[in-house]
A and B are shown apart, each in its own frame.
Chain A
């Protein structure tokens, strides 16, 4: 007689996702030094930019920057970019790096034998890091206000709404990226380079108009560029590349495209690894 296979319900899947998030949160809190440092890290990146801005500023402030961005408040411009890019890192790290950590610890194969859909594993692994990113971002904004005079003048709620399709598009990227980690068995360099290059090309630190002609098309092909630009336009009243309504439309298209594409790539790679029996290798 065959045993009854467990019935997957929405509730059981939600429990599984929360269990994964809880496991990651426990693991994170186990290293308190690392936890405390999550808030300090963005400030360490922002401080050199602050002083660099001062070295270019004249008596009248940052006129050079204002000519590009439509605001001379370069620190608020950069802090908004830093907060948004910490979310994009959370998704990439959450999926790609967590996969590698499980590979190294030798727990990936056994976890994947449980009756939980694998994509759900990946989503679960980003939940703790997204919650944590929200907390640390609040810390960064508070420190940014205190140290660098960060302030927003626009509609925060509307800006938060614009980040939703951006986040879904990032999940698409994350799935494709996790597939790549499964194939290459290496995550550090991939995560490092992509989580550095994506915000760089999308203008997390500067208006993309300064990019050379060779890189500008790449930047304009990335959804993040429009996400950063629209959010800044709404929060800081900066000059946007195209009207904000168009940028939101572009984000929605990217969201659908990347969601499907990323998921398909991941499933195909996963099937290939199952066939070759390489899931546990590292």
Chain B
């Protein structure tokens, strides 16, 4: 009598998901550099833009009025910190989620893990769970760091609205991360792709400047990127005290992105999986 094939149950699938998360957690703790990533980077990264803005503003801040006329605020420090924090969140996700399958490939463990009787998606989602946890920690450190060192208050009175924007952004950012992971496996190259994707968001989403300075065609590109709305909504709530009704159009767009992008990300993953099976290229690097 042939042996009964292994039937994965929801519990066994959940166990696999948590096992992947645990494995990533152990690797994460093994390299204490995360301390630097999460404590130094949030404050260090925006400084380049902040000091450049200070230089552009002039010794007496005479040119800040031009910035204020376009952005609606003379507080360029908070303006830049909000944009760059979202950018860094995306950057972290691209590295953590996008690079994790590629890392398995480089270590030579991807093929053997692929043969395990668990849904392959759990390899991707398991790593994303850890990434989400660490990203939330990163956001908290950024808020505390800028409060302490620069007196910038990134948390407005309307905490509920901020959390809603963050929750909707999670879907968009991780959807991009899933699709990105598949792209990295397809091209077997992570660095250049991370630079390219994050560069597109950096240029088009108004991370450090108001979108009004962009030419028309660039503003059109900005309007189809989720980060544009996430950054715009957070700036409106934090810097201008906007309420739910004021940012409702942005929230609706963010909600659509949050619903569509994860589905597209998972679809890209299955496409990549099918291609890898046809070409036998999963173990190549």
Nearest chain B CB to A244's CB is how many angstroms away? 21
Check A189 against B33 for contact (C-beta < 8 Å).
Answer: yes
Q: Is B125 on the interface with A (CB-CB < 8 A)?
A: no
Instruction: Decide: A55 and B203 in contact? CB cutoff 8 A.
Output: no
A210: Cβ under 8 A from any B Cβ = yes
Is A157 close to B, CB under 8 A?
Answer: no
Stretch at the interface among B138-146, B194-202, B274-282: B194-202
Nearest CB on A from B51, distance (A): 5
Question: How many of B's residues come within 8 Å of A, CB to CB?
Answer: 47
Contact with A along B190-210 (1 / 0, CB 8 A): 011101100100110001111
> Are B63 and A63 in contact (CB-based, < 8 A)?
yes
A205-B36 in contact (CB<8A)? no
Given contacts A64-B58, A65-B55, contact A33 B63 (CB under 8 A): no
Most chain-B CB neighbours within 10 Å: which of A34, A51, A55, A69? A55
B11 at the binding interface (Cβ < 8 Å): no
Residue of B nearest to A184 (CB): B33
Binary interface encoding of chain A residues 152-193 relative to chain B, with 1 for a CB under 8 A from any of its CBs, else 0: 000000000000000000000000000000000010111001
Interface of A: prevailing SS? helix
Residues from chain B with Cβ under 8 Å of A62 in the complex: 56, 63
Q: Chain B contact residues: over half helix, strand or loop, or mixed?
A: helix
Check A123 for interface membership: any CB of B closer than 8 A.
no
Taking a contact as CB atoms under 8 Å apart, the answer to whether B196 and A48 are in contact is: no
Check B52 against A206 for contact (C-beta < 8 Å). Answer: yes
Q: When A48-B203, A206-B51, A211-B51 are in contact, do A64 and B44 touch as well, CB less than 8 Å?
A: no
**Are the CB atoms of B203 and A47 closer together than 8 Å?**
yes
Chain B residues with Cβ below 8 Å from A193 are 36, 40-41, 44
Choose one: B44, B49, B67, B196; the contact of A37 (CB below 8 Å). B196
CB-CB under 8 A from B44, the residues of chain A are: 193, 196-197, 200
Tell which of B33, B61, B64, B191 touches A34, judged by Cβ atoms closer than 8 Å. Answer: B191
Residues B140-196 near A (CB distance < 8 A):
187-189, 191-193, 195-196
Instruction: Name B150's closest neighbour in chain A (CB-CB).
Output: A212
Contact with B along A40-54 (1 / 0, CB 8 A): 110011011101111
Question: B217 an interface residue at 8 Å Cβ cutoff?
Answer: no
B208 touches A48 (CB 8 A): yes
With a CB–CB cut-off of 8 A, which chain A residues contact B47?
Answer: 200
Closest to A204 in B: B48
In the complex, A186 Cα to B49 Cα: how many Å? 28
Within the complex, the shortest CB–CB distance from A206 to chain B, in Å, comes to: 4
Residues of B within 8 A of A (CB): 31, 33, 36-37, 40-41, 44-45, 47-49, 51-59, 61-67, 70-71, 187-189, 191-193, 195-196, 199, 202-203, 207-210, 212-214
Given contacts A31-B188, A48-B49, A64-B64, 16 further A-B contacts (CB under 8 A): A34-B189, A37-B191, A47-B202, A48-B209, A49-B49, A51-B209, A51-B213, A55-B210, A56-B53, A56-B63, A67-B58, A68-B58, A68-B59, A193-B36, A200-B47, A206-B55
21 contacts between A and B (CB under 8 A): A31-B192, A34-B191, A36-B192, A41-B199, A44-B203, A49-B49, A51-B209, A55-B70, A55-B213, A56-B63, A64-B55, A64-B63, A68-B59, A74-B56, A189-B37, A196-B48, A205-B52, A206-B48, A206-B52, A207-B55, A210-B54
